């Protein structure tokens, strides 16, 4: 009897890993035109964006009162202080960052765009899988709290 439950447990674990992993995706393309909008979120619940029209995927952009260069430096300090983060692209008006999960090493791609003074548009999406269990929304909330407290 115990052996059957152990086998059933392994089946559920494999199903969960498969559901989380889904189809593996690659790094999103770098926008050639920084003035263009962020890529739209897919219909799956693993993405949040300040430009999303769907309220379930919408988050507010970051706002700042100081100079854009100072806000960018502050945001970089916040990102570099977070575990398992790596800036993969940095320009005057765009930051692209990868965050890896602690357990399975799943990658989330986060993009920040300085499109107008005082406003940072952002998007955070799981590179693979269907559900993210709110991880991207929570990460943006942490970034926002740290950014606003500096």
Domains of the chain, start order: 40-149 (3.30.310.80)
Looking at mean pLDDT, say which of 26-30, 121-125, 130-134 comes out highest. 121-125
* pLDDT mean over 98-118: 95
| pLDDT recorded at residue 150 | 87
Residues of the chain with pLDDT > 70, as a percent, come to 77
Residue 21 has pLDDT above 90, yes or no: no
When the pLDDT of each residue in the chain is averaged and rounded to a whole number, the result is 85
Residue 121 has pLDDT above 90, yes or no: yes
How sure is the predictor about 123, in pLDDT bands with cuts at 50, 70 and 90? very high
| pLDDT recorded at residue 112 | 98
| pLDDT recorded at residue 12 | 44
Q: pLDDT tens for residues 28-78?
A: 555 556 667 899 999 999 999 999 999 999 999 999 999 999 999 999 999
| pLDDT recorded at residue 17 | 42
| pLDDT recorded at residue 31 | 54
Half-sphere exposure of 5 (CA within 13 A, CB side): 2
Q: pLDDT tens for residues 79-97?
A: 999 999 999 999 999 999 9
Is the entire prediction scored with pTM above 0.85?
Answer: no
Give 37-46's long-range contacts (Cβ < 8 A, gap of 24+): 37/121, 38/111, 38/113, 38/121, 38/122, 38/123, 39/111, 39/123, 41/123, 41/125, 42/125, 44/130, 44/131, 45/130, 45/131, 45/132, 46/125, 46/126, 46/129, 46/130, 46/131, 46/132, 46/136
């Amino acid at each position: 009897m115990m052996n059957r439950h152990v086998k059933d447990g392994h089946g559920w674990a494999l199903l969960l890993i498969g559901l989380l992993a889904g189809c593996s995706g690659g790094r999103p393309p770098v926008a050639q035109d920084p003035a263009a909008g962020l890529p739209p979120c897919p219909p799956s619940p693993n993405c949040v964006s300040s430009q999303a029209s769907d309220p379930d995927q919408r988050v507010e952009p970051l706002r700042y009162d100081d100079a854009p260069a100072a806000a960018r430096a502050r945001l970089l300090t916040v990102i570099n202080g977070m575990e398992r983060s790596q800036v993969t692209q940095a320009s005057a008006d765009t930051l692209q960052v990868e965050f890896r999960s602690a357990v399975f090493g799943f990658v989330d791609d986060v993009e920040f765009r300085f499109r107008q003074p005082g406003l940072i548009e952002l998007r955070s999406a799981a590179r693979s899988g269907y559900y993210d269990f709110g991880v991207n929304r929570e990460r943006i909330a942490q970034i926002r709290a740290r950014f606003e407290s500096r």
